[in-house]
Amino acid sequence: MGKGKPRAPRREITGTFPITTGTARISADTERDGGYLLEINNVPSSYVVMDAPRVLTFDYMQWIARICSSRPTPEHTVHLGGAACCLPRYFADIWPAARHTVVEIDGELARLVEDAFTLPPRTSMVIKEARTAAHGLAPQDADILVRDVFAGPTVPRHLTTVEFYSAAHAALRPGGLYVANLGDKEGLPETRAEMAGLKEVFAHVGAFAEPDVLAGRAYGNVVIAASDDPLPEFLNPLPHLSGAARHD
């Protein structure tokens, strides 16, 4: 998309809006045609470019897309955590025949996003808490399950336990892919705990992040993937990391 003023949407969508979990703000990017930033409680959450679903601005979303794109064409993808549905939009564009289910705890946010940006075909939003939704998924119904859920700067602890991973594993078809985004600090305590827990459930576990983050020297996003099938070679199994798995 070209530079300049944002393309005029069908109606005005920018502003500050009350949602169940606080406040959402949609602002137009004056430097990119059709670009809009969604902030939740003053934290950047999603960046949408109208009519350009394959534009993923956040690095971690690009990493998730690369990991998932290495898999065969799925029939069903599930996304725990919705915001503006950037990844579901991307998946719906590259896999138009697949079903895409987005689980979002905040009903007001979901309605705002559907009204402002419109969901692509074969994409639906379910208003439910992520753990409850994972346990309620039909067995072996999903090919890809993405967890991108935060409470402030951290992932809710109940979404980082062996019991939660077991529910995700049960919802995946044989060889299905689980991918999670998290933020971690020096020493990678969260990554250590999550990888230890996932190794109790899945045959293969790996991670991707900026080199300084993966080396445990800086704070940043880490994307972890798990499957019973081998993972892409660019994912690091981090054999030097040890940690204690979390249980309910």
pLDDT digits (tens, 9 = 90+) for 41-95: 999 999 999 999 999 999 999 999 999 999 999 999 999 999 999 999 999 999 9
Is 105 contained in some domain?
A: yes
Specify the DSSP class assigned to residue 11: S
Q: Are 29 and 52 in contact (CB under 8 A)?
A: no
Q: Is 158 helix (H, G, I), strand (E, B) or coil?
A: helix
Q: What is the pLDDT of residue 238?
A: 87
Is 198 contained in some domain?
A: yes
Q: Are 64 and 80 in contact (CB under 8 A)?
A: no
Q: What is the pLDDT of residue 240?
A: 80
Domain with residue 103: its CATH number is 3.40.50.150
How many domains, in total, are found in the chain?
1
Is 166 contained in some domain?
A: yes
Is 235 contained in some domain?
A: no
Show the domain range for 66: 52-227
Is 168 contained in some domain?
A: yes
Over 50: is that where the pLDDT of 3 sits? no
> What percent of the chain lies above the pLDDT cut of 90?
90
Is 97 contained in some domain?
A: yes
Is 133 contained in some domain?
A: yes
Over 80: is that where the pLDDT of 1 sits? no
- Give the side-chain half-sphere CA count within 13 A for 244: 3
Is 6 contained in some domain?
A: no
Query: 118-156: per-residue pLDDT in tens?
Result: 999 999 999 999 999 999 999 999 999 999 999 988 999
Phi, psi dihedrals of residue 109, rounded to the nearest 5°: -65, -45
Q: Are 149 and 159 in contact (CB under 8 A)?
A: yes
Residue 10 token pair: 């069908």
